[in-house]
Every structure is written in structure tokens, then in C-alpha cells.
Structure 1
Amino acid sequence: MPITHGVHALVWTGGWSPDEARHAIASTAEAGYDLIEIAPIDPTGFDAGMTARLLEEHGLQVSASLGLSEDTDVSSEDPDIVARGRERLATALSVLRDSGGSVLCGVLYSRLGKYSGPATERGRANSQEAIAWLADRAAASGITLALEFCNRYETNVINTTQETLDFIAAVDRPNVMAHLDTYHMNIEEHSFTEAVRAAAAAGRLGYVHVGESHRGALGTGTIPWAEFFGALTEVGYDGIVTFESFSSEVVHRTLSNDLAIWRNLWTDNRTLAREALDFTKRGLAAAGRP
């Protein structure tokens, strides 16, 4: 099966008004991608019907990602906060379903941001219970959850592939997978190859983000791309590979602050996106991926 190549919507726009959605989806198709990853951080503001129509018009697939806020953190010990988090996750799931997508990824299990201490036992249990609950709802619509482990400055629940696999084992749902992101792996993993192998061996390698070490243009930082593409090829990965890059050129009301996007790493997003797709395809081809 061929790789499905995607691009994160925040490469194009920080919002999702009809004009912004049309611009992002049309630009994604124009750049040659198969899929756009939308970011319904506040899913109540997303028009899924409009999104589905635009995707069909441009022949694109869709996935969705989000991270939770402090007042919707399902790893909290406060039951009211956990309940609000479950409601937000369920709404995001509905947005994805009604947009025509089948993978909900990202930081679904905690707040996106730096914590002042490690996750508590009760907080981790709340998170796992919320993901199990969400996975059951997702399964009814044929949707997979892909949990993106993030670096220590963006979550305290899962920071490595192995921690993600352990978390998934505790959740024990067949439609919960690991979401590997090269930006976070570059901070937390000791080996890109071993991380990919571990996720694949567990049968849980479900989604991939390709992002540079500084979150700018691919190939201009310190990610060991040949090793990573070689590992994906070795394990026969044939899922979604989405390009993710952030710059202060495109600002999301909350996500840009959560991810500390203070610098303008690029201004020409069209060239950035086309070159990222070419870089990824060439890297996979060099590794022997047809």
C-alpha cells in the first residue's frame, strides 16, 4: 500500500472559517498532498459538513488532531475537569467522523503544556479510562485513536514510544495506536530505529508526523532522516505521514502559545509544503520504500 502523505492545517491557516477552510484545503491539494490534518482544538467551532464538502471537491482525505486545555485535562484529578475533557474529545470525534475522517490523533490524553510535577496515579488512571471510553465511541464509527507522545515540556503523561505502548496496553483497546512525531522523538528517544521497531512489533504504529528539530523546513535541522525513513521502510509502514511545521507567520489563538511558536521560521508556506512533500518522498524512496 502506498504511504498517505498529509500536511497539518496550521501550515496554511490559524482558523477554520469557510474562507480559511477553503484556502487550506485547496492549498493542500495544490501542493500535491493526499490528506489534510485539521486541528479542532475547540471542536465546537468547526463546521464538519462544510469541511466534508470541500474535501470532496478537492479529492482529499482528512485526519484530526488536538491537545486539551487546563480546564479539559482528562489526566486531572478533578472529576469536573475530566468530564469537560471527555465532552471535548467526544465533540472532536464527531467533527472528524462528520468530516469523513478515520484517525483522531494528537495529545488526547492530557493538557498540552508544561506541568509542574509528574502525573499522579489517579490522574494517569483518569486519562487511561477516558481514552478507553473514547476508543469505544470511536470504534462504533470505524475510527482509530493515535496517541501522540510529546516531549517533557508539553505533557507529563507519555514522553517516549515505550511509555506510549505501556499506556496503550493499560487502555487495552484494539483501535488505540501510537503516534510517532520526529520533533518529539529527537528530544526524548535514544534511537529512532528502535522506537519505530518497538511500535511496529507491538502492532501499534498508527500515525507519523514528520517535523524538523526546530519545526521549520525539513532537512534544515538535526533530525536523522535517513535513519527514520529507513526504519519506516524496514517495518513496512504504509499509513499516514503528515508534515507538521509551525511559524509565527500563521497563528492559532491558543495552539501557537501552547507550542511556544515565537519565531518566524518561514513566510512562504506554499514552497515550504511542496518541498516538504518532495523531501519526504525522496527520503522514503532512498530507503527503498516504493
Structure 2
Amino acid sequence: MYDKLKYGVSTWLWQSPFTTEWISLFPKIKAMGYDVVEIPVEDPELIDGTTVKKALSDNGLKPTVCGVFGPTKDLTSDDVILHENCFRYVEKSFELCALLEVDFLAGPMYSAVGKARMVSEEQRKKEWELAVTNLRKVCEMGKRFGQSIALEPLNRFESDLVNTADDVMRLVTDIDYKNAKVLLDGFHMTIEEKNIREAINTVGDSLIHVQVSENHRGIPGTGLTPWNDFKLGLEDINYQGAMVIESFTPEIKELAGAVCIWKHLAESQDEFASEGIKFLKKTFNS
């Protein structure tokens, strides 16, 4: 029996962007049996951290925080203005993490999401070195706030830089900071990895966060994900963090377009969340 997991769900399943008013989701999330709510920070200015912290406490929920890295926040760009914009955003996100008593900021912060091109080896090397250099600055900033970063590999359609467990471990090794860690997302893994259990073992104790949905972004348990391999991998490394369901609603057109969700993946988003946690608990707690 693998009983060390804490189960969470991203508010992206219902809404985008997260603003203070969406603390209204917390009672429902708690009632479904979740321990954790993931807060995606599209704009830190829209979030009153003090109010959110009280609502979390009132509902008996722990938070995780995921960063959002679009084209205006690109650490591999030739435009240093985009680097500085990203640093300012990350600093505000670290401030929110510290206020909410979260000890890491998660996400694919090495580059802009959707930057997927065929470029020369020379250009790839240049962008890799930019990512390493700038993420060292992020790690230094994180140390001031008592924060780590959890770097997330994305599938090939969303990134041309970091796609696999091997890729992200190479990046973490090159950054060479103790607070550079890893997030693995089962959706991306089903596209990019040869074996999910082996991929989890590749990152080992660098893994501090896990996100899941199905291979088609739907309810866990309704697709092709090898969930037993997932479970065995987490047992292998004695993972004790959170497993957060991350998917999206087609009702929020801008976000749905960005992640290519063109149809409803469940009868309702509430059904998605309630059925998803039932499946995860049955699978990972048995």
C-alpha cells in the first residue's frame, strides 16, 4: 500500500486566470477529498495572498504554486527585456509562495511554453546556456525566499528544449544548485518517455512535485497511461510529495486554445475532479 501521497487539483480545471475570488472553489475541492489545491499564477497582481492563505486554512487545504511562462517571460530569448520581465514575475511568485508557506515554485521556467522549432545545434546550445545561466539567477533569488524551483519537462509540441527526464536532469546538473529540482507531469511523459517507471527513477530524489491527467488530458483512468508503472516508480524513489490533477476547461477559450483542448473531457469539470481523485486513491493507495 502506497499511502504517502497527498492528492491535489489545479484550479485551472475550472478557471483562468486565478484571482482572489476563486477561493470560492476551495470548499468544493476539500469536499471531494483533496488535500492540496494548486494555484497557477498567471498574474501575481490578481492574487491577495493573505486572503488566499486564510481561505486555505479555513478549508484545511495545503497549496502548491505553479508558474506560467508565456512568450513575454522567456529566459532563452535574445531579448534581455524578456529575461528581466521573467525575473520580476518569478520574484513576485516567490513572495506568494513564501506567504502561503509553499517551499517551491513549479513550472517550465527554462523557456517560453510553445517555443517549439527546428533550430541549429549552435542555436540550441546558445539557448541551453542561456537557460542555465538565467536559472542560476532564479535559484539565487529562490534562496533568499527559502524556495526551490521544480522544473517541468514538456512534450515536443510545447518545447524544443526540455522534453524528458534525461533532459531535465541534464539541466538540473548543469545549473548545479541544490534548490534546482524537478516536476514530472504524466501527460507529457506519456508522449515523450519510453518507460514511466524508469523516467521517475532517472530523476530520483530530485522529484518534488507530480502532475497528472490522462494521455488525452482527460480523467485519470480513462486512457492509456501505465498507472501501475507510475505507482512503482514513485515507490522506488519513496516519493512523498503531492500528486496534482492538472487539466483545463474548454470554457476558458484563451487557455483552452493554448493547450489545444477543443472539447469537453468530462460531463462537467466537477465530475472530472471527483472521478479523478477516486481513481488515483484506488490506484495508489491499494
The verdict on a shared fold, with TM-score over 0.5 as the criterion, is: yes
Structure 2 counterpart of 1:191: 195
Structure 2 counterpart of 1:275: 275
Structure 1 counterpart of 2:78: 77
Aligned-residue RMSD, C-alpha: 1.8
Select which of 238, 241, 246 maps to 2:248. 246
The answer to whether the Cα contact below 8 Å between 2:14 and 2:248 also exists between their aligned partners in 1 is: no
Q: What is the CA-CA distance between 1:198 and the residue it aligns to? A: 1.0
The answer to whether the Cα contact below 8 Å between 2:20 and 2:47 also exists between their aligned partners in 1 is: no
Structure 1 counterpart of 2:211: 209
Letter of the aligned partner of 2:69 in structure 1? L
Structure 2 counterpart of 1:107: 108
Structure 2 residue 157 is the aligned partner of structure 1 residue 153:
yes
Q: Distance in 2 between matches of 1:237 and 1:143?
A: 19
Q: Which moved more, 1:48-57 or 1:264-273?
A: 264-273
Q: What is the CA-CA distance between 1:109 and the residue it aligns to? A: 1.2
TM-score by length of 1: 0.91
The answer to whether the Cα contact below 8 Å between 1:31 and 1:274 also exists between their aligned partners in 2 is: yes
Letter of the aligned partner of 2:244 in structure 1? T
Q: Distance in 2 between matches of 1:15 and 1:24?
A: 13
Structure 2 counterpart of 1:51: 52
Q: What is the CA-CA distance between 1:260 and the residue it aligns to? A: 1.6
Structure 1 counterpart of 2:239: 237
Structure 1: stretches of 5+ with no match in the other structure:
none
Q: What is the CA-CA distance between 1:180 and the residue it aligns to? A: 0.8
TM-score by length of 2: 0.92
The answer to whether the Cα contact below 8 Å between 2:17 and 2:43 also exists between their aligned partners in 1 is: no
Aligned length: 281
Cα distance change of structure 1 residues 141 and 71 upon mapping to structure 2, 3 Å threshold: closer
Structure 2 counterpart of 1:181: 185
- Moved segments of 4+, more than 6 Å: none
Q: Which moved more, 1:80-89 or 1:152-161?
A: 80-89
Q: Distance in 2 between matches of 1:208 and 1:142?
A: 21
Give CA deviations for 1:30-51 in whole Å, capped at 9, x if unaligned.
2111111111122232221221
Structure 2 residue 118 is the aligned partner of structure 1 residue 117:
yes
Structure 1 counterpart of 2:258: 258
Cα distance change of structure 1 residues 193 and 176 upon mapping to structure 2, 3 Å threshold: same
Structure 1 counterpart of 2:4: 2
Structure 2 counterpart of 1:144: 148
Q: What is the CA-CA distance between 1:189 and the residue it aligns to? A: 0.5
Q: For 1:125-136, what aligned pairs fall within 5 Å after superposition? A: 125-136=129-140
The answer to whether the Cα contact below 8 Å between 2:4 and 2:239 also exists between their aligned partners in 1 is: no
Give CA deviations for 1:177-229 in whole Å, capped at 9, x if unaligned.
111111001000011111011111xx311111111011111111111111111
Q: What is the CA-CA distance between 1:252 and the residue it aligns to? A: 6.7
Structure 2: stretches of 5+ with no match in the other structure:
none
The answer to whether the Cα contact below 8 Å between 1:12 and 1:23 also exists between their aligned partners in 2 is: no
Letter of the aligned partner of 2:257 in structure 1? N
Q: Distance in 2 between matches of 1:17 and 1:209?
A: 21
The answer to whether the Cα contact below 8 Å between 1:12 and 1:27 also exists between their aligned partners in 2 is: no
Q: What is the CA-CA distance between 1:100 and the residue it aligns to? A: 2.7
Q: What is the CA-CA distance between 1:81 and the residue it aligns to? A: 1.5
Structure 2 counterpart of 1:171: 175
